[in-house]
Amino acid sequence: MLAAALAAATLPNLMHAALCLVLALLGLASFFFLLGAEFVGLALVFIYIGAVAVLIVFTILLTRRDLGSEHGFKWSGVLIAFAVFGGLTWAILRTQSLSIIPPHARALTVKRIGETLMIGYVWPLQCVGLLLTAALIGALVLVMEEKR
């Protein structure tokens, strides 16, 4: 999964990078399954791979004329990323209370997720629905042809 993510970040060909992103997200979904959050893993597969990846591929195809031109690569970004990774790993390895094994938990069924969403999280759910609607309308307005 990490190799696919690294390939998605560094491959020069945009289409290969998008396909590697799909591979990396599949690996991430398998991590979610491993952690016992099956619903979130499935949602990740549906939303990211089914919708976002297809959207990215469409955008690549729509902006295809630009593919041949040279895009620069800034090495300072690599430096900053390595510094952030080193700092985070150092902090994680130094914290003793993090080396625990998972407690035995009862399975998180979709029924329980639905009950929690509908009882405790009604307002956030409505807000997310409103946000998605606004984002879709905004995206449509953005790409609408300008009247001349």
Partner 1 sequence: MTPTLQAFLIVSAALFSIGLLAALSRRHAIFILIGIEMMLAAANLNFIAFWRFAPPPHPPTGVMIAIFSIAISAAEAAVGLAMIIAVYRHYRTTNVDQYDQLKG
Question: Which positions from 52 through 71 interact with partner 1, judged by CB under 8 A?
Answer: 52, 55-56, 58-60, 62-63, 65-66, 69, 71
Least Å distance, CB 114 to partner 1, is: 11
Least Å distance, CB 22 to partner 1, is: 11
User: Over 93-126, what HEC string results?
Assistant: HHCHHHCCCCCCCCCCCHHHHHHHHHHCCHHHHH
Least Å distance, CB 92 to partner 1, is: 5
Residue type, 64: R
Applying CB under 8 A, which of residues 23, 26, 32, 49 lies at the interface with partner 1?
32
Q: Give the span between the Cα atoms of 96 and 63, in whole angstroms.
A: 49
Q: Give the span between the Cα atoms of 39 and 112, in whole angstroms.
A: 11
Please report whether residue 18 would count as binding partner 1 according to CB under 8 A. Answer: yes
Least Å distance, CB 72 to partner 1, is: 5
Q: Which two tokens stand for residue 42?
A: 């499935």
Binding-site size, partner 1 (CB under 8 A): 79
Nearer CB in complex with partner 1: 102/147: 102
Question: Which positions from 111 through 140 interact with partner 1, judged by CB under 8 A?
Answer: 112-113, 116-117, 121, 124, 128, 131-132, 135-136, 138-140
* Angle (nearest 5°) at CA 41 between 128 and 86: 95
Please report whether residue 45 would count as binding partner 1 according to CB under 8 A. Answer: no
Q: Which of 87, 83, 85 is nearest to 2 (CA)?
A: 85
Q: Which two tokens stand for residue 116?
A: 């929690």
Please report whether residue 75 would count as binding partner 1 according to CB under 8 A. Answer: yes
